Every structure is written in C-alpha cells, then in structure tokens.
Structure 1
C-alpha cells in the first residue's frame, strides 16, 4: 500500500469573483475617488478576480491618457459635464442598459463607488437582478453644499445618501470615525476599509533642489505645501490665514499650492506671495510633495484625504484637523500636529508651532520626516485590497437579498 501523502502549507481554496465596478470618475481625472478606484481595480486583478469597469466616457484627450488595465472589461456610458468642473463627467441614467448587460453576463457582486445618476442606475439594475451590492461612501456631498450657499440642501442630500447606501448590502467607509458618524445618522451595513498609499511613487527621494530653487527657497528655508482641488469646499482661506501667521514667525517661509479649480484665479489675486503650481501628476507631483518641508491640510469635507497619506509617504509632517485620515493616523509631535475640528485658531496655532520647530531645529525636521515616512510604509495597498475583497464577500453573504450565483473556486 502506498504511503499516505502529506502536504504541508497546502494553499487554501479562495474565491475568484466577477466584480462589476461602477464609478463616475476615473484617471486621468485627478481626485481621491479616481485614484483609489484605479488602485483597487489593479489590486483585484492581481488577486485573480475578473473586473468589469462601468464608467462615463471621458473627453477624447482624457481617454487617450486613461491608464490601460488589460485584464479589465471596460463598459463606457454617456457622460455630461459637471458645472464648474469641466474636466469631470457625470453619468446619466442607464438602468435598462445595465440590466441587459448584467443579464447576459451576470457578475457575482456589483461595487458602486459613486452615488450619481450612473450609481443609482447600477443600484436599481442590481436589485432588479437580485445581485449583491457593495458601495463606497467616499465624498461628503452634504458637507460640500454649505460652501456654495446651498446649506439648505444638506438634509435632502443626506436623506438621499442614506436611502442609497441602506439599499446596499455593505457600505465601505475609510475611517472608524466616519463609520460612527454615519451609524448615528441611520446608515446600516457599514464596514471600514481604509486607503493605501503608493510608497514607491511618493517618497522623500523625489526631493529636488532645482525645484526648490524655482520657488526661491534655499536648502534651509521652510517650504509649506498644500495639495488638492483649489475650490471653496477645501477651506483654503484658513490655509492662507495660517501661512500669514507662519510668515510672522518664519519670514523666509514659502507657500506652494498644488492643484487647480474654480477658486484659483481669485486666490492668486488675493495672495500674490503664494506659489500656485497648478495641477501636477506622476513624477512632477511626487517632486512637489517631497521638495516641501511641511504639509497643511485645512479641509473638513473629506471622507479620508488621500493627500494626507501622500504627504506622509513623501516625508512631510502634517498639520490637519482631528478628522478623517489625520484623526486615525497622525500622532501629535510624532508625525505632525492635529487641531480640534472647526477650531481655526487652534489650526493656525498648530501650524505656527510646527513651522517654527521645523525651521529652527534641523534635527527635529529630520526626525519627523522619518516618522512620517515610516507611518506611510505601513499603509500597504495589498492589505487594503484584501480588506476590500472581504467586504465584497460580506455583501454576498448577507441574508435575504435573493438568489445569487455562487462564485467559482480556485487555488490561491
């Protein structure tokens, strides 16, 4: 008789899924949702899952720069311009088309990244076909409205978002703080799935003496940076208020604002001392981060704030409100400083305190830069995508959603 065969560390069977990802923003559009979705889709592919990407068709010049994901099936829908943001497209109602699409090739799970017309159509189509749905709460639309004189829309927008996500089997949120806030507002089925950061694409090694010279900064001067959309909802008036306070303590400090948006022209006129670098991508963006010394992030409308982790990966200490990513990542005096939410005076005081320390103590600048980088190195996208995958499976396993196809089994 043959001896029994014993195999150590036999890889466990794992599920490979057919995932339909629906998003109304995608690179080369520059925003946190687009960049996060691109990394998630790439990560799902790497883990052996099949991905169908449903998104609005972009302008021809954007489509030419869209990153190629050879294993992804792309389904392009009609898109309309978004007022004040001509570089972005929003989807249009497409329920009938999606029902036809998913009837022909049924996905195991539908993931909806955005709550616009295309996202709502995807939710309706998935429910019609009794498909499990996972969603993301990625943008505080209800908070944005108050920055455009539309505060009266806060309640109806929140009601819509609650209705949308409570019809899903699982809603992913990037922080525990946001999970608690939404739970208090009546959202159900919440699961925390954080964000990773590209520690190869963003690193202190991209620091450029030539770029700093363009800004008029010597090797010893303090350069303060802010990266993001130049728009009212980013609370940029506080950025300039804080920097003017910094200049009183550190007269040679420079301010670099990276990004574009509807408020740029007026802010340039009001604050001529600031360097407006415009929108940057790839290696240029990495160099702008790494060539600064301190990152200020005054926004209170983020669900996470990817720029926070990109700054940390670039070796920048961060001053931010005790909110979103900063609340969960930054330790005061280790990676930067946090101010209580909505306390503008405390934010300015923290900015001045840290700027003064970094300007006057080179060893402190080096220590906090190293701490920031070390923190970012623990934010692996591989780990985040694995958690995302768990949330998809959770959505599929929730009871009472209707008949579903079982996912195929494959060896790891």
Structure 2
C-alpha cells in the first residue's frame, strides 16, 4: 500500500496511560516506521508531548482544549470546537481519519470528516454505557448509546476488539462492525523477564503470587480480589493506581500494591508472578490478559466481554461466572495447587499469543483503511 496520511484522533492520550493510549502508541509506531505520515489529535493535558519520536521518524501531537473529568483528574475531556478540528483536517489533508475510542473529541472529528469528505474508521474500545450504569447513572445509559451510535454510524467502518463487544454494539444499532483485536509486544512481555530477586521481595515466605494489572476504579471490580486474601501461602500483587486505592489497601492489607508501572518494570513484575487474575466485567478486550499470557502466566477472568475471546477455558486459564466469587477462588486454588497443571496452562497461554504482534495488527488496520476508502468512494459515486 502506498504511504498513507493518517489523522489519529485519540479520546485519551499521554501522559495518562491506559488501553486506548497504549493501542494508539503501538499502531502509530508501526505506521511511522513503515513510512506513513501520521498526526495525533488528543485532549491537551499537562505533560502531553508535542511529538513522538520513533528512531528517525517524528509524529506531531496536536493538543486541543480539554477539561479534567470530575473526580478523576487524570482523564481529560475534550472541550474543543468543531471549527478547530476542521482546521486541523484542512491543514493536514489526511487520507483517513482514525477515531480511537470516540466520545466528545471523536464526535467533533467524525462530523468534520464527513464535511470534508474523508473516510473514517472508528475503534470501539471502552464500554462507556456500562461505565455510566456502574457509576450509578443507569438513566443515562440509553442516552450514551444514542450518542455513540450517532458517532459510529457516520463512519465507514467500526472496529470492535472482541466478538462479545461486536455483538453488543450491533444489538445497540451500530452498523458496519468488524473485529480488530490488539497486538502484544512478545519481546517485552516474556517469561525471560522473571526475576527471582523480585520474587523473594514480593514473597519472602515463598508464597504463590497472584497479580492484577489495571486501574483501581469501580468498573474494574478490584475489590472482588479480597476473596483471595485469606488463601494460605498466597499473596496478591496489585499493579495500578486509581481513586479506590486507599479503600482497596484497607480491604486487602496483606496485598502488595506496586503503584502504576509500565515497560520493562511492569513486564518484570508480571513474569515474576504465578497467576494473573482480572475481575472487571466491562472489558471490551483486556490487553493485560494478553501481556500476562505472553509472560507465561495462565489467566482467570469473568466470562464476560473481551476475556471470552482471549482465554481458552480449561486450556490457557479459567473463565468464572460473573459475580460468583467462590468460583473465582476455586479456580485460583486449582491452578496454584497443581504446579504441573499450571505449567501446562502457562505454556499454552504463551503459545496462544505468540503471533499477535503489533506489526501484524497494524497491517490489518491498514487493510481496514483501504476498505473504508473503497466504501466511501462507492457511496459518493452512487
């Protein structure tokens, strides 16, 4: 494919690191190194870079006016105007607009792309209606679906990260949906990162280590891990930060809270543990499961959303019934109590993600851009 001019509009970006930010960074790096011209538009925030550098390649970052989310200041909400987005598009003349988890900023960008006649691909990545319900505003859930439906149905192609998420958004009226999963850096997340020195620090009495990685927020249901606290010879390792940290520390005094970690430091912690557990029931994908599997850990998660596609039940890990915490505990006991079985699960887990590299996923995304351009051309030729 010829070099493409790609405008990535990211609803969430640096310095706040989450699944949306990580996906944007990984695909942008692949595109830049392949010679494609990329610009990123994102909510402005203290510490946001003006550009990204990948070897000799530079990717400009264009911050737009934003406000901190009430009660969660790390998350920024766009307050920019449609005129500002149109001017960015007019200055760059992109071949395609990529909307990463569109909401307020993505809404403005989708309207601008339609006005300028540019094909658009949107990535559905966060269950915002589910978050609305989880945070005590179920009356707004349908309004959120209407808002997202309007954004996504302006786009030529919508990409869901899992079959469960695809089915969910199609049921709510979002059209032209295909599946695009996520890659994993298997050179960074690997069993070779395991550190016996770190294990001795985390498990001074030889405990088995169960690790969770993610935000410490209500939608992740991290408090469900408390059912594992009383297990003998087991220690929880909780990696992440968020508004519930103090509450979780109180509920799980025996756990090790590592704070936010990334890169090699995160990879070392994960690889040095024995089992990965994720408790959130609103995951559209769950990238941390892939990273744990690449690190040689079996994974346990609710049978809900993205994990259904990632975990091969009874082969690479276990899927427990949402809300059935005794079932979660039983699965943890099953794998921690049998080193041989856990080893077989671990090997299968690592093999299952071996081919899911970011360059492969970026090439797939370029294919979706090509398809969006064809659909756009056909629609306007009719």
The TM-score, its normalising length taken from structure 2, stands at: 0.93
Q: In structure 2, which of residues 315, 318, 340 is the aligned counterpart of residue 363 of structure 1?
A: 340
Q: Distance in 2 between matches of 1:348 and 1:211?
A: 30
Q: How far is 1:364 from its partner?
A: 2.1
Q: Deviations over 1:214-257 (max 9, x none)?
A: 223455x311111100000101222222x14xx44xx1100111
Question: What is aligned with 1:37?
Answer: 24
Q: Distance in 1 between matches of 2:2 and 2:159?
A: 20
- Which stretch shifts more, 297-306 or 175-184? 175-184
Q: In structure 2, which of residues 145, 151, 157 is the aligned counterpart of residue 170 of structure 1?
A: 157
In structure 1, list runs of 5 or more residues that go unmatched: 1-13, 404-412
- Does the Cα contact within 8 Å between 1:314 and 1:373 map onto a contact in 2? yes
Q: Distance in 2 between matches of 1:381 and 1:197?
A: 6
Question: What is aligned with 2:252?
Answer: 271
Q: How far is 1:145 from its partner?
A: 1.4
Question: What is aligned with 2:350?
Answer: 373
- Does the Cα contact within 8 Å between 1:308 and 1:325 map onto a contact in 2? no
Q: Deviations over 1:36-82 (max 9, x none)?
A: 1111111222333211111122213x539x85343323222222212
- Does the Cα contact within 8 Å between 1:27 and 1:35 map onto a contact in 2? no
Question: What is aligned with 2:327?
Answer: 349
- Does the Cα contact within 8 Å between 2:182 and 2:356 map onto a contact in 1? yes
Kindly indicate whether structure 1 or structure 2 has the higher relative contact order, using CA contacts under 8 Å at least 6 residues apart: 1
Supply the RMSD in Å over aligned alpha carbons.
2.0
- Does the Cα contact within 8 Å between 2:282 and 2:304 map onto a contact in 1? no
- Does the Cα contact within 8 Å between 1:212 and 1:218 map onto a contact in 2? no
Question: What is aligned with 1:9?
Answer: none
Structure with bigger gyration radius: 1
Q: How far is 1:89 from its partner?
A: 2.1
Question: What is aligned with 2:106?
Answer: 119
Q: In structure 1, which of residues 172, 178, 182 is the aligned counterpart of residue 169 of structure 2?
A: 182
- Does the Cα contact within 8 Å between 1:50 and 1:71 map onto a contact in 2? no
- Does the Cα contact within 8 Å between 2:223 and 2:251 map onto a contact in 1? no
Q: How far is 1:205 from its partner?
A: 1.4
- Does the Cα contact within 8 Å between 2:103 and 2:148 map onto a contact in 1? no
Q: Distance in 2 between matches of 1:161 and 1:239?
A: 32
Question: What is aligned with 1:53?
Answer: 40
Q: How far is 1:119 from its partner?
A: 1.4
1:109 aligns with 2:96: yes
Q: In structure 2, which of residues 53, 57, 60 is the aligned counterpart of residue 68 of structure 1?
A: 53
- Does the Cα contact within 8 Å between 1:191 and 1:391 map onto a contact in 2? no
- Does the Cα contact within 8 Å between 2:52 and 2:60 map onto a contact in 1? no
Q: Distance in 2 between matches of 1:114 and 1:338?
A: 26
In structure 2, list runs of 5 or more residues that go unmatched: none
Q: Paired residues, what number?
A: 378
Q: Distance in 2 between matches of 1:105 and 1:294?
A: 46
Q: Distance in 1 between matches of 2:52 and 2:248?
A: 32
- Does the Cα contact within 8 Å between 2:66 and 2:80 map onto a contact in 1? no
Question: What is aligned with 2:240?
Answer: 259
SS of the equivalent of 1:15 reads: coil
Question: What is aligned with 1:311?
Answer: 292
SS of the equivalent of 2:14 reads: coil
